[in-house]
Amino acid sequence: MNYGIKSFFSFKGFGVNKVSSDENEVLVYLVARRKTAICPRCDKKSKKLYEAGRLRKVRHSRYEGKQVVVFVPKRRFFCSHCNLPFNEKIEWISYKARSTNNFAMETVSSLKRSSFTAIQEMYETNYHFLTKHLKSIDMNVKWPEGKLRLGFDEHSYAKRHMMITITELTTKTLLAILPYYDKKSIEKYLSERPEDELTRVTELCFDMRFKQRKTVESFFPKAATVIDKFHVLSYLASLIDMDRKFDAPEFKNYERIKQIMRMPEYRLTKREYDFLNSVFKQCPNLKKKWDIYQKLNTFYRLKSKKEAVISLAEISNDLFKLESSCTKDFLGTINRFKEEILNYFDNKTTNAFTEGVHTKIKMIKRTSFCFRNINVYIKKVMLAFIPIAVILGQLLPH
């Protein structure tokens, strides 16, 4: 029993003297196995026991819904080299801490999936304890090996306060969350990266409205820029929606029409296709714009860049033939981002992973009931994406 409990909880240097439990706690009483201690000043071993103090009560873990509380004997030794007493150092308990390193690791790793309030109630701890150990974790993620494709996008922290998300799209890794959506934040982060990492970046992926694009591109002069295809399709669809108010103001159930029109034609059921045809009979102008949107969907399914160049020229020609409308403004978008749109066909790079990160961030914000501290927010979000091994390596003793 003694060996089983000791190996299960890893009480290095101590043996289990007694175990008891009640409704809320499992009490583990330890006894020291070593007769010597190392002096922190001269690193010499000492056998002279100076004082045996009372038991030290620390929290260690949770087991079967109960708190595991450990009672560790406090001992002071006398160093004959320094002629001074010193406290025995215990590797798995920090100095003057009321909990073990394992308790800190367990609570912080639980924050990957739960809110601060839930972990406080579960482990009977407080917000200060959790944030203290959360901030001690180094979230400076090392960029993966090999060629890199970076994704940049912004998300909302609170109201109009925007932050920048940086991801590696090949390995699907969250690299960083920058506290502000400005030039200084990007320059500070990228200027601190090693030159070896910057030279390995081959592609950059943005949406069309990313304001700090030129700042990012200045750090990667040899990298190709790709405009995310989902934003291109969404922008064209939104322009068609704006025209609909003038082309077909009589349609009352347009939300249904809008949803069906945004689907690729090959995914439509016969019933949906017939419904659209009935709409287009009443509004031929809407049909012309829908055909252009479907051509753009087909454009992104092409296999070669040569075919894409021809297809994009056809789409531009169809847009040019339209009468003055919001949808025709998309022709200017194609002319402005033509090279960036065609760069998609080099590696079929999209920002889909970055958008998935934003979906998870929204879930974290909902379960956490908002954040008041930016640094805590960034650490909490990054914690949800870093491997558990990183947390173990930083919170547990080496």
Please report, for the chain, the start and end positions of each structural domain, with discontinuous segments joined by +: 2-95, 148-228+350-395, 229-347
| Residue whose C-alpha is closest to residue 223's, from 190, 206, 189, 199 | 199
CA distance 287 to 279: 9
pTM of the model: 0.85
CB 353 within 8 A of CB 361: no
Is the confidence at residue 308, as pLDDT, over 90?
A: yes
What letter would DSSP give residue 143?
Answer: P
CB 166 within 8 A of CB 176: yes
- Please, what is the average pLDDT of the chain? 88
* Model pLDDT for residues 252-280, shown as the tens digit of each residue: 666 777 888 888 888 889 998 888 888 88
Is the confidence at residue 398, as pLDDT, over 50?
A: no
Q: Reduce the DSSP state of residue 90 to 3 states and report it.
A: coil
CA distance 262 to 293: 8
CB 296 within 8 A of CB 232: yes
pLDDT recorded at residue 137: 84
Is the confidence at residue 299, as pLDDT, over 90?
A: yes
Assigned token pair, 9: 């909880």
pLDDT recorded at residue 11: 84
By percentage, how much of the chain surpasses pLDDT 70?
93
148-228+350-395 maps to which CATH number? 3.30.420.10
CA distance 135 to 132: 5
Is the confidence at residue 1, as pLDDT, over 50?
A: no
* Model pLDDT for residues 321-353, shown as the tens digit of each residue: 888 788 889 999 999 999 999 999 999 999 999
| Residue whose C-alpha is closest to residue 164's, from 384, 351, 370 | 351
Q: How confident is the model at residue 390 (pLDDT cuts 50, 70, 90)?
A: low
CB 72 within 8 A of CB 51: no
Weakest-pLDDT range from 88-92, 214-218, 347-351, 366-370: 366-370
Residue length, the chain? Answer: 398
Q: Which residues pair with 37 in a beta bridge?
A: 46
CB 137 within 8 A of CB 383: yes
CA angle 288–291–297, rounded 5-degree value: 150
CB 261 within 8 A of CB 273: no
By percentage, how much of the chain surpasses pLDDT 90?
53
| Residue whose C-alpha is closest to residue 69's, from 83, 58, 53, 84 | 58
State the maximum Cα–Cα separation within the chain, in Å, rounded to a whole number. 100
Mean pLDDT across the stretch 60-82? 91
Weakest-pLDDT range from 48-52, 79-83, 152-156, 386-390: 386-390
Strands 66-79 and 25-32: parallel
Is the confidence at residue 396, as pLDDT, over 60?
A: no
Assigned token pair, 51: 């004082």
CA distance 385 to 28: 34
pLDDT recorded at residue 252: 64
Q: How confident is the model at residue 395 (pLDDT cuts 50, 70, 90)?
A: low
Q: Other C-beta atoms within 10 Å of 211: how many?
A: 13
Is the confidence at residue 186, as pLDDT, over 90?
A: yes
Assigned token pair, 215: 């700042």
Q: Is 44 left (phi over 0), alpha (psi -120 to 50) or beta?
A: beta
Residue type, 387: P
Mean pLDDT across the stretch 56-77? 91
CB 383 within 8 A of CB 364: no
Is the confidence at residue 10, as pLDDT, over 90?
A: no
| Residue whose C-alpha is closest to residue 309's, from 266, 272, 343, 263 | 343
